[in-house]
């Protein structure tokens, strides 16, 4: 074997051994890596609808849109060894409890919801430098939520919880006019014998540079919320362009 060939073969084996043995290293991203993602979803949910979906008691849900999570698209549980530590976000707890509450559990000290969001979604978002720690991930999510200010803008365009119904097309047009992009809106389908869907979730999409972009999706796409955080057996799906209920109370 020629000396040069032997050298490069040895170097290649060394690099492979180093890469395989370095379990804590940041992985290299590529188009084909299972943890690669191109789009972030900032997911708001309407607490009253969350309570409606839940089979158990759900008392006094907030009367404003709260954070469900910040989700890299189509990846989850990227690093199962990177466990949630509430001490890393202690400076954020006041805003976390207000804007990112566990709607289904009233204890202010409960952190299981945040633990779930970090370990399922945050560990994947952490491939981005701006989100590569627990404090950065939760802090940036709060920043994006407050900059979008969904609650205020909905009120400004005259869309508020009511006993009357809205046309979904009016809600879509209002949001697009405010933000300049198309969000993704999900509803509870009408109950048997009824014709009105119930708004439940609004997602805004961001690029890896954390800039707003249009949300794109398949018309048949839906999420089962219980798979993300035990909200109940009912299923949210992309809203139809029909009458929509924006409930003020459970």
Catalytic residues: 68, 117, 121
Question: Is 95 in contact with 142 (CB distance < 8 Å)?
Answer: yes
Please name the residues in contact with 212: beta carbons below 8 A apart, sequence gap of 6 or more: 179, 180, 181, 204, 205, 206
Residues whose CB is less than 8 angstroms from the CB of residue 82 and which lie 6 or more positions away in sequence, other chains included: 119, 123, 126
3-state secondary structure of 68: strand
> How many other CB atoms are found less than 10 A from the CB of residue 127?
21
- Cα separation of 93 and 109, whole Å? 10
């Amino acid at each position: 074997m020629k000396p040069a060939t032997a050298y490069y073969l040895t170097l290649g084996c060394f690099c492979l051994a180093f890469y395989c043995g370095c379990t804590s290293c940041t992985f290299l991203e590529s188009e084909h890596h299972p943890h690669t993602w191109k789009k972030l979803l900032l997911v708001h949910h309407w607490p009253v609808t969350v309570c409606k979906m839940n089979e158990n008691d759900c008392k006094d849900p907030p009367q404003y849109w709260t954070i469900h999570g910040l989700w890299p698209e189509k990846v989850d549980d990227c690093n199962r060894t990177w466990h949630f530590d509430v001490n890393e976000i202690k400076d954020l707890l006041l805003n976390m409890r207000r804007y990112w509450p566990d709607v289904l559990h009233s204890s202010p000290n409960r952190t299981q919801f945040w633990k779930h969001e970090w370990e399922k979604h945050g560990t994947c978002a952490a491939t981005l430098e701006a989100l590569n720690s627990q404090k950065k991930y939760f802090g940036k999510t709060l920043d994006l939520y407050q900059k979008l200010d969904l609650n205020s803008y909905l009120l400004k365009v005259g869309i508020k919880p009511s006993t009357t119904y809205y046309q979904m097309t009016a809600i879509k047009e209002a949001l697009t006019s405010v933000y300049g992009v198309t969000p993704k809106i999900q509803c509870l389908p009408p109950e048997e014998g009824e014709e009105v869907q119930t708004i439940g979730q609004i997602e805004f999409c961001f690029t890896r540079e954390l800039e707003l972009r249009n949300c794109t999706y398949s018309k048949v796409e839906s999420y089962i919320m219980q798979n993300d955080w035990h909200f109940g057996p009912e299923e949210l799906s992309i809203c139809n362009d029909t009458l929509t209920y924006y409930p003020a109370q459970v």
